Structure 1
Amino acid sequence: MKKLSLFVLSILLISLSSRLSAQNTGTLKGTVTDSKTGEPLIGATVVLEGTSTGASTNLEGNYTIKDIEVGSYNIQCSFIGYVTQTKYNVVIRSTGNIDINFELQEDVEQMGEVVVTANPFRQSEITPLSRQKLSQEEIVSYPGGNNDIAKVVQTLPGVSGSVGGFRNDVIIRGGAPNENVYFLDGVEIPNINHFSTQGSAGGPVGLLNVSFFEGVTLSASSFGAQYGNVLSGVLQFDQRTGDDQNFAGNFRLSSSEAALTVEGPLFKGSKESANTTYIASVRRSYLQLLFGVIGLPFLPDYWDYQYKVNHKIDKYNDIYVTGVGSIDDLAINELDEFDAEQQAVQDQIPVIRQRSNTLGIGWKSRFKDNSGYMLTVLSNNYLNNQFQRFEDNVNETGLIFKNDSEEMETRLRYNLTKFNGDWTTTYGLDLINADYQNTTEDLVNNVTFGTDLNLFRYGLFAQTSTRLLNNRMGLTVGLRADGNSFTKNGNEIYKTISPRASITYDLTADKKLTANASAGRYYKILPYTTLGYKNNAGEYINENTEYIRSEHLVAGLEYLLTKSSRLTLEGFFKYYSDYPVSTIDSVSLANKGGGFEVLGSEPVVSNGLGRTYGAELLYQQKFTGNFYSIAALTLYKSEFSAGDDANYAPAVWDNGVLVSLLGGYKFGNNWEVSGRYRYLGGSPYPPVDQQATLNNYPAIIRDYSRLGDVRLGGFSQLDIRIDKKWSFKNFSLDLFLDIQNVLAQQQPSEPQFGLERNDQGEVVSPKNLVRVDTNADGSVLPSIGIVINF
């Protein structure tokens, strides 16, 4: 209540001051280019939809619109011979407006008198379906997201997160969290979370700054041949280019962190705009302070940083340098008073210290005759993970598990794209040098080893796309093959040949109804934690493993209800083979990676099978009439086997039903109310083997033979967010109240066990494992955030 009172008081004070110093107009600028060649379009018209306010692009393809009344607009861009494009829900402030750039597609229609509806959701021929996008405004104003990009992504159709844990896993259509790949402006990054699970990608808190993004694109079940080592989804984070004219930035304070972002030109001199720009940020958590005051048993402490520098060499050549990194420390908090549940958490949670860093350099060169372009990206990923569990976590004594490891990858990606009439052809290669060093002491399984592994990975691909039948049909075919220098069959690249194809066809002449389909084969190498595992004799016993193989079939329909809304229906099927199966637990590794452990550091065999299949219905309306919405229903089944002759069992990601509703309404005077509702069906979990756990406590031993016998209850949550924006002469201010779990629904959780203790917290002798009661009440979690744009 005190926080809410301060929030209301702040609004009243700022409202009063705004009467004296409000700035009611802002400026919008950006560029317009050909989406295919990247050539600037001179004389393109950019207008605020429904008004006469606009501007035309200059010789460099740039436009500037001044004196725009603050508020939210749809921005429309048109040019003779090109399809008109609209950017929805663009917020104009007095300061802090990001560039709105357009990439227009050439209009090759020859439809006579038929009126063709411009499709704001139009997909490419390469990924004609299972592809979703979020704009910058949708990302930063997402209800319940707390400015966490991993949580924001979970609102997309077919995407769920872990239930019953402090996790940020991205689970796409029943696949495991480590089946996805992530790209930051063409630079592959290994994970998007702090305190990440090594060998997987999930963690409790996202490490990417939402202020950086121009947009986010998810491709599920349908990827081009340029993407390797992926089985479920490709997430592309498109970062903004820093302001080329003025210094700008924002400061953000939320319920868990403080963030500062700055951007501007470099070496501008007396020119109107600079050829070199930068954008950089740093974020600092104060969760460790809040958790300490509340008395929670663990203290998550993190920093992260992100940056990007762009330089325009000339009209045809651009280079950029980008990077992101984190410093993570998960410490144990000694409890002042005994609490059975908190004590069990304190006993079992690991001590984690991580350092991660990604650095990438990209060069894009357009050919002067507009016949194509090439993109070269050199990058380096680094992760240092110190993961330990002790009998006494507070004093860090009685070691029971230790993983002290370093992963480093140096990558070279080269893509060459050529245009030949209606055909677009892309060739490329990926070269990766990987180093993995590890010291492991596992007292539970009586394994101790040290690893110093170096391996070389490579991939080759080619694909071509075109439009046929008077532009009504789009067709893409591609081929990829991958290899490595470590596994026994790694250089037999004929075993990883990956054919891929997609087709799209306009069923009606006005392009309102479209049929889409894709089919492909995909391969993924096992994580370094698995490849680098040794037995006590010092042997790489997983050297004989195979690439995981998956075949995807997807088909669907898309119908444009209006110029800004659509309805889609898709069916999907994924079949897995050669999935690694743990010889210790007799379970597919697809059912691991959703907790705080090291995924895959164990002996495995490549004989597991798996399948996920289902259907997805989506309705989406872009910002129209002050309202926007997304509604999605996914029905699916996810199951894996523990061997090629074993029966299928439900996967731990088998929620069965996913419902996602997102919507918002913008009132006058820059007020906005938005909400998100999410429902996930109950997921199975492996019960605790109580006798084995008692013998090895605080290690928790699962009985995977009973996976599918018990399930969590269904999970639903409603989040509401209220935003208010003010604009002043030299800065603008955004305040928001975010209320999570408005309906106070209890989050389902697995039964928790700990050692029996007396009222003073002392372990009862002889030792006995007992179930620990957890708080059964759902909690409403209000939080306040502030963003100052300058």
Structure 2
Amino acid sequence: MKNVLLAFCLLIGLNVFSQNGIIKGKITDKLSEKPLQGVSVVLVNVENNAAITDVNGNFTLQNVPIGRQIIDINFAGYENSSVPNIDVTTGKDVFLSIALTETFTTLQEVVITSDNGKIKAINKMAAVSTRQFSVEEVNRYAGGRSDVARLVANFAGVSAANDSRNDIVVRGNSPSGMLWRIEGIPVPSPNHFSTLGTTGSPVSALNPNMLANSDFLTSAFPAEYGNAISGVFDLSFRKGNKDDYEFTAGVGAYPGVEFMAEGPMGKNQGSFLVAGRYGIAGYLGGSGTGAAIPNYNDVSFNLDFGKSKLGNCTLFGIAGFSNIEFLGKDASDDDLFSAKDANQKLNSDFYAIGLTHKISTGNNSFLKTTIGTSNSLNSYEEDRLFDIGTPTENKIRYTESDNTENRITISSLFNSKINKNVTFRGGVLFEFFDINFNLLDRFKQTDANGDGFEDLNTIYKTKGDYTILQPYAQVQIRLSEKFTFNGGLHGQSFSVNNQFVIEQRTSVTYKVNNNNSVNLGYGLHHQNVPAPILFQNEIIGGNLVQTNKNLKLVQSQHYVLGYDVKLADKWRGKAEIYYQSIRNAGVEDFASSYSTLTEGSDFGYSTDKTSLVSNGKGNNIGLELTIEKFFSKGYHALLTTSFFESKYKGSDGIERNSPFNNKYVINALGGKEFTIGKSKRTVLSLDGKITTSGGRFYSPIDLMASQNAGYQINDEANAYSQQYDAYFRLDLRTGIKFNSKKRKQSHIFYCEIQNVTNNKNIFVSRYNRLTNQVNRIDQIGLFPDFGYKFQF
């Protein structure tokens, strides 16, 4: 009878436990990243629910009520911290990575409390133009399509007024100026259907459910970032649940069908996390590709082998595969990507794999080394159809490209917290590139053999290798409780033109009081000209010569002044003004409007720009304002505004608008959550987003010249002198979350209407070679998005 009663009590206990959630986490020192033992973690508004971190800095809060929760963290000698907006469900444990800052003074009576939210960057050396973001935001914001690139388009300084691509335009710069990093190493564009050298595409291959909180930087980066002049996407994969096996299955219009598994691995408190997705957007008509069906899928993983005497090792990776075929017979006049007189086939694959080793080298120091390899492959074939529907109809190969880039990366970083006020970080990044670029094209070629068609000539044919070496060193000095200095040097050696540069990075933060702070930053940055331009061929004396290889690294100087203010509890305001001066851009050696700063505004790069010289200039200036209400009391809000000018000069010396000069971008987002039902276990959410921006500038089309040539010819003398209509889009989203009463399960449904007003936002004006007229092509109109996720 006693055994029966004991079993009954255990059953009740397990049943009660299963009705609630679990919060786990790891607490470290922000500067040394050393685990902190003995930290007190208290669940706010819930009696007798607290935990103390163990020797590895880990804690667990059991039996946490579902819904949004807050925890308070206290540790002697460190600033007290609070983590709000923790979304607890029954289907999945919550894991938090929390970094505490040591108090400047040892006086115990001085108590400083701060929100451990997204105001500060994860990178401790980043003080200006940085925004931390979370997976929770990716899945909550309306219009995001489960795409982190579209998420950051909501932040001040970012423009992405294009429903068909997720290119990231930062402060008027070309998207080719972006740097993508995963787990500390540069990677190829993590997107499906990307082409050589580009950084965006219609669909992201990054699974947001794989990501930990990450940083997005828009200028004056710390010294460890290099070979980028516009922005940095510094992404981290989260670790799997090291205590329990968890699974997620779901389906959505854009991410597609997905499955994720995680759990403990090995004997050293290791874990695994694996996820895969298969795209279905094309079958639902949301890809903008007409009758063509895009095929894409991706897989990601993160294997943590746990901590041992030899340190901690982690193996991570991501791979994406995509292909699509456009047939002229299926094309319509308003198709975004295809034409009636062309059959096109595109294949795009990539992968990145890395092994990270991290070991403590003292009480407050560590050495982190990552070895990685990556590959990006894209091929394109186009057959042009002539005399369609007539007895003389024929088909010829018009374009053929096959581009492969292999990369081996070695990164080593040493971090040492010398004392509570001084931290040093230094390291080196080495990249070895093995490339094989090939392009045959008839576009703008002559008819030397007299067959009535342009000749299929070699535009570039490159097989070789090159290296980029980037050493750096930086220091953070807390001069007082109010004043913090960050300074560093970054070096960059580029083997193609044998150029070596040294760059200065500096930022200071002055904390006026607990609610106000001023930030000032400067950064000198360089980046090589995009590879499709750099390795382009020119026929000289019957030989193919790469006449752009001696182009200098493009130079960019960033100046930033920022002001942060705590407007109220959970309300934050931020203003930044910036100026960016760009030099050494590639321009033609005769008077023209062309500059490499205008590249990246299309799906590919120019194929007829040779013998370029490094005399181009540009500048970007702007003001950004942000008002943000972090999620609390059941709602959130975000208003961002950017006002800017983006200009450039070609070799003709005339200052023009860049194709990325929208002049203004305004985003307004908000959402509310309601708990419904008797047990308050079901959560209903409503979210909305309004985006408007100025239209991009474009070059007028010379219709007569285009009709004579048979392809589009722009009026280059008036390059980027005309502006498209303003962009406007309204997105609405509703979701519901069911938390199981008896099992560790949750069901999440959402439905979203994108472009609710069906606004006709222009995609492009282009010359139609079949009608000999200029046609306007609009972007995707109203489109319903949906999704379901099952966590267990």
Q: TM-score, normalised by structure 2?
A: 0.88
Q: Give the C-alpha shift of residue 706 in structure 1.
A: 2.2
Distance 2:695 2:731 in 1: 20
User: In the alignment, which residue of structure 2 is the partner of 1:420?
Assistant: 418
Matches within 5 A, 1:20-419: 24-52=19-47, 53-109=49-105, 116-119=112-115, 120=117, 121-123=119-121, 126-163=125-162, 166-256=164-254, 257-268=256-267, 274-291=268-285, 296-314=290-308, 317-333=311-327, 335=329, 345-347=339-341, 351-367=345-361, 369-392=362-385, 397-419=395-417
Q: 5+ unaligned residues in a row in structure 1: which ranges?
A: 1-19, 269-273, 757-767
Does residue 739 (structure 1) correspond to residue 733 (structure 2)? The answer is no
Query: Does the residue aligned with 2:209 lie in a helix, a strand or coil?
Result: helix
Does residue 528 (structure 1) correspond to residue 531 (structure 2)? The answer is yes
- Cα–Cα, structure 1 residues 277 and 21, in superposed 2: closer, same or farther, change >3 Å? closer
User: In the alignment, which residue of structure 1 is the partner of 2:724?
Assistant: 712
User: In the alignment, which residue of structure 2 is the partner of 1:764?
Assistant: none
Read off the aligned partner of 1:481 and give its amino acid letter: G
Does residue 462 (structure 1) correspond to residue 473 (structure 2)? The answer is yes
Whether the 8 Å CA contact 2:695–2:725 is kept in 1: the answer is yes
- Cα–Cα, structure 1 residues 582 and 350, in superposed 2: closer, same or farther, change >3 Å? farther
User: In the alignment, which residue of structure 2 is the partner of 1:624?
Assistant: 632
Distance 2:296 2:225 in 1: 31
Read off the aligned partner of 2:382 and give its amino acid letter: R
Q: Give the C-alpha shift of residue 338 in structure 1.
A: 6.4
Query: Does the residue aligned with 2:492 lie in a helix, a strand or coil?
Result: strand
Read off the aligned partner of 1:463 and give its amino acid letter: Q
Distance 1:504 1:363 in 2: 32
Whether the 8 Å CA contact 1:298–1:346 is kept in 2: the answer is no
Task: Please list the CA deviations of residues 336-394 of structure 1 after superposition, one character each: whole Å capped at 9, or x if unmatched.
Answer: 69657689645478531111111111111122x32311111111121111123331399
Task: Please list the CA deviations of residues 122-166 of structure 1 after superposition, one character each: whole Å capped at 9, or x if unmatched.
Answer: 356632121111122112222111212221121111111143x62
Choose 120-129 or 212-221, whichever is displaced more. Answer: 120-129
Distance 1:101 1:29 in 2: 9
Choose 282-291 or 250-259, whichever is displaced more. Answer: 282-291
User: In the alignment, which residue of structure 1 is the partner of 2:735?
Assistant: 723
User: In the alignment, which residue of structure 1 is the partner of 2:451?
Assistant: none
Count of aligned pairs:
742
Query: Does the residue aligned with 1:137 lie in a helix, a strand or coil?
Result: helix
User: In the alignment, which residue of structure 1 is the partner of 2:516?
Assistant: 513
User: In the alignment, which residue of structure 2 is the partner of 1:557?
Assistant: 563
Task: Please list the CA deviations of residues 267-294 of structure 1 after superposition, one character each: whole Å capped at 9, or x if unmatched.
Answer: 35xxxxx522111111111233334999
Query: Does the residue aligned with 1:456 lie in a helix, a strand or coil?
Result: strand
Matches within 5 A, 1:473-488: 473-487=483-497
Whether the 8 Å CA contact 1:316–1:366 is kept in 2: the answer is no
Task: Please list the CA deviations of residues 313-346 of structure 1 after superposition, one character each: whole Å capped at 9, or x if unmatched.
Answer: 3267211111111111121145469657689645
Alignment root-mean-square deviation, CA: 2.8
Q: Give the C-alpha shift of residue 641 in structure 1.
A: 1.0
Whether the 8 Å CA contact 1:23–1:727 is kept in 2: the answer is no
Distance 1:200 1:428 in 2: 28
Query: Does the residue aligned with 1:529 lie in a helix, a strand or coil?
Result: helix
Distance 1:338 1:548 in 2: 41
Provide the identity percentage: 23
Task: Please list the CA deviations of residues 681-700 of structure 1 after superposition, one character each: whole Å capped at 9, or x if unmatched.
Answer: 12211233434544555x54
- Cα–Cα, structure 1 residues 396 and 288, in superposed 2: closer, same or farther, change >3 Å? farther
User: In the alignment, which residue of structure 2 is the partner of 1:548?
Assistant: 554
Distance 1:678 1:513 in 2: 29
Task: Please list the CA deviations of residues 419-447 of structure 1 after superposition, one character each: whole Å capped at 9, or x if unmatched.
Answer: 22222122211211111112221212434
- Cα–Cα, structure 1 residues 347 and 700, in superposed 2: closer, same or farther, change >3 Å? farther
Read off the aligned partner of 1:780 and give its amino acid letter: L
Whether the 8 Å CA contact 1:22–1:727 is kept in 2: the answer is no
Read off the aligned partner of 1:712 and give its amino acid letter: Y
Read off the aligned partner of 2:464 and give its amino acid letter: L
Q: Give the C-alpha shift of residue 311 in structure 1.
A: 1.5
Whether the 8 Å CA contact 2:332–2:339 is kept in 1: the answer is no
Distance 1:311 1:44 in 2: 25
Whether the 8 Å CA contact 1:593–1:599 is kept in 2: the answer is no
- Cα–Cα, structure 1 residues 344 and 696, in superposed 2: closer, same or farther, change >3 Å? farther
Distance 1:366 1:770 in 2: 67
Choose 582-591 or 410-419, whichever is displaced more. Answer: 582-591
Q: Give the C-alpha shift of residue 172 in structure 1.
A: 0.7
Query: Does the residue aligned with 1:667 lie in a helix, a strand or coil?
Result: strand
Q: Give the C-alpha shift of residue 599 in structure 1.
A: 5.7
Matches within 5 A, 1:604-619: 604-619=612-627
Q: Give the C-alpha shift of residue 193 in structure 1.
A: 1.6
Read off the aligned partner of 1:322 and give its amino acid letter: F
- Cα–Cα, structure 1 residues 146 and 396, in superposed 2: closer, same or farther, change >3 Å? farther
User: In the alignment, which residue of structure 1 is the partner of 2:585?
Assistant: 579
Whether the 8 Å CA contact 2:323–2:347 is kept in 1: the answer is yes
Task: Please list the CA deviations of residues 601-654 of structure 1 after superposition, one character each: whole Å capped at 9, or x if unmatched.
Answer: 7423221100000111111121221121211111100011112x6111001110
Q: TM-score, normalised by structure 1?
A: 0.88
1:677 corresponds, among 666, 670, 690, to: 690
Distance 1:396 1:362 in 2: 55
- Cα–Cα, structure 1 residues 162 and 624, in superposed 2: closer, same or farther, change >3 Å? closer
Whether the 8 Å CA contact 2:188–2:350 is kept in 1: the answer is no
Distance 1:627 1:657 in 2: 27
Matches within 5 A, 1:771-786: 771-772=774-775, 779-786=781-788
Q: 5+ unaligned residues in a row in structure 2: which ranges?
A: 1-14, 446-456, 677-682
- Cα–Cα, structure 1 residues 105 and 600, in superposed 2: closer, same or farther, change >3 Å? farther
Task: Please list the CA deviations of residues 720-775 of structure 1 after superposition, one character each: whole Å capped at 9, or x if unmatched.
Answer: 1111111221421100011111233221233243244xxxxxxxxxxx50234657
Query: Does the residue aligned with 1:174 lie in a helix, a strand or coil?
Result: coil
Whether the 8 Å CA contact 1:688–1:700 is kept in 2: the answer is yes
Choose 107-116 or 42-51, whichever is displaced more. Answer: 107-116
Does residue 753 (structure 1) correspond to residue 767 (structure 2)? The answer is yes
User: In the alignment, which residue of structure 1 is the partner of 2:481?
Assistant: 471
Read off the aligned partner of 2:788 and give its amino acid letter: I
